[in-house]
């Protein structure tokens, strides 16, 4: 492993330690478990919050099968296969862990809700490094990143402090869109990353507005249920991206493409069309 990689990990570790020193602990609020929709159907408590996790299982299994079915996704690097495998395993496990949590919401069951999500989040970061920075560095970072996510869950579980877990969630939310925009892609259809990020942001808004949405919809559906459905669109868009994309012949970042498009738009907007007219004399007819 190159020295720069070691330095990067060292800097990240130092920043984390400083952050843990200067910020107060963030305990898990017990109000988090008080969801708006607690209706029981067919003997299942919190049924809509439970069954709305089913799309994660479907997408996770489909993605996992397509990763290995004749290389349907056309993954050109071995590291990509490992990264996407971890991602789709995490997505599928979200369905089981989240459903288990919503059957009996409490801190103990919440661990199994958050654990697979951290695997998916951290796998995505490693995938970006593999595809857009360096395959070897990405491969080396995959296991450490997943371990960081697991440790953040364990730290919260033992010490009731959400700061490490908050970082695991917050950093990918910032890093992934920035990397998608700034770093030249290896493949086409990079905008799908931004669609996935947008749906995840929408899911977080719906999660925060759980009870207001439940009230606005006249107790039909809650914000948390919609959050599950929107969050499931993230792996849906990424699966579609994998199915459609191909090797990018000219590696240009999205930011550069937007600049080029904007420049062309301005140039076209400033063009003034000129017209030339030819006048001919028409003899006047004499009146009889």
Domain ranges in the chain? Answer: 3-270
98 in Cβ contact with 113 (< 8 Å): yes
pTM of the model: 0.85
User: How far apart are alpha carbons 250 and 242 in whole angstroms?
Assistant: 18
Report phi then psi at 98, rounded to 5: -70, -40
Percent of the chain with pLDDT over 90: 56
**Alpha-carbon torsion angle 256, 258, 261, 267, nearest 10:** -90
List pLDDT tens digits, range 38-52.
Answer: 999 989 999 999 999
Instruction: Say if residue 155's pLDDT is above 80.
Output: yes
pLDDT band at 159 (very low <50, low <70, confident <90, very high): very high
Q: How far is CA 206 from CA 202, 209, 273, 283, in A?
A: 6, 5, 50, 77
Instruction: Say if residue 82's pLDDT is above 70.
Output: yes
User: How far apart are alpha carbons 190 and 252 in whole angstroms?
Assistant: 10
**Alpha-carbon torsion angle 130, 133, 136, 141, nearest 10:** -70
Q: Which residue has the higher pLDDT, 284 or 218?
A: 218
Contacts of 282 (CB under 8 A, 6+ apart): none
Lookup: tokens for 86 = 């971890």
User: How far apart are alpha carbons 270 and 281 in whole angstroms?
Assistant: 35
CATH class held by domain 3-270: mainly alpha
Nearest Cα neighbor of 51 from 202, 236, 232, 225 is: 225
pLDDT band at 55 (very low <50, low <70, confident <90, very high): very high
Lookup: tokens for 285 = 């007819």
pLDDT band at 272 (very low <50, low <70, confident <90, very high): very low
Nearest Cα neighbor of 45 from 112, 109, 117, 100 is: 100
Instruction: Say if residue 279's pLDDT is above 50.
Output: no
pLDDT band at 283 (very low <50, low <70, confident <90, very high): low
Instruction: Say if residue 15's pLDDT is above 90.
Output: no
93 in Cβ contact with 119 (< 8 Å): yes
The 3-state secondary structure of the chain, one letter per residue: CCHHHHHHHHHHHHHHHHHHHHCCCCCCCHHHHCCCCCCCECCECCHHHHHCCHHHHHHHHHHHHHHHCCCCCCCCCHHHHHHHHHHHHHHHHHHHHHHHHHHCCCHHHHHHHHHHHHHHHHHHHHHHHHHHCCHHHHHHHHHHHHHHHHHHHHHHHHHCCCHHHHHHHHHHHHHHHHHHHHCCCCECCCHHHHHHHHHHHHHHHHHHCHHHHHHHCCCCCCHHHHHHHHHHHHHHHHHHHHHHCCECCCCCCHHHHHHHHHHHHHHHHHCCCCCCCCCCCCCCCCCC
């Amino acid at each position: 492993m190159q020295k720069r990689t070691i330095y990067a990990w060292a800097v990240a570790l130092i920043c984390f330690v400083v952050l843990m020193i200067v910020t107060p602990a963030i305990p898990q609020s017990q109000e988090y478990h008080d969801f708006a929709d607690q209706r029981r159907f067919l003997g299942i408590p919190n049924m809509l919050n439970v069954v709305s996790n089913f799309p994660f299982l479907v997408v996770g299994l489909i993605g996992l099968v397509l990763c290995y079915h004749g290389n349907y996704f056309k993954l050109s690097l071995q590291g990509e296969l490992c990264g996407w495998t971890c991602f789709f395993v995490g997505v599928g496990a979200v369905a089981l862990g989240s459903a288990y949590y919503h059957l009996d919401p409490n801190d103990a069951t919440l661990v199994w809700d958050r654990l697979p999500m951290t695997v998916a989040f951290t796998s995505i970061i490693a995938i970006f490094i593999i595809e857009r920075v360096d395959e070897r560095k990405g491969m080396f970072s995959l296991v450490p990143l997943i371990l960081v996510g697991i440790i953040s869950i364990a730290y919260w579980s033992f010490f009731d402090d959400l700061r490490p877990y908050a970082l695991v969630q917050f950093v990918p939310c910032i890093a992934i869109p920035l990397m998608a925009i700034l770093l030249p892609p290896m493949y086409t259809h990079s905008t799908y990353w931004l669609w996935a990020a947008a749906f995840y942001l929408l899911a977080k808004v719906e999660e925060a507005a759980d009870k207001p949405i439940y009230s606005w919809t006249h107790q039909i559906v809650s914000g948390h249920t919609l959050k599950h459905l929107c969050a499931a669109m993230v792996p849906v868009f990424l699966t579609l991206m994998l199915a459609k994309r191909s090797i990018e012949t000219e590696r240009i970042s999205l930011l550069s493409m937007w600049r080029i498009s904007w420049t062309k738009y301005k140039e076209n907007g400033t063009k003034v069309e000129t017209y030339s007219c030819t006048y001919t004399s028409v003899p006047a007819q004499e009146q009889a």
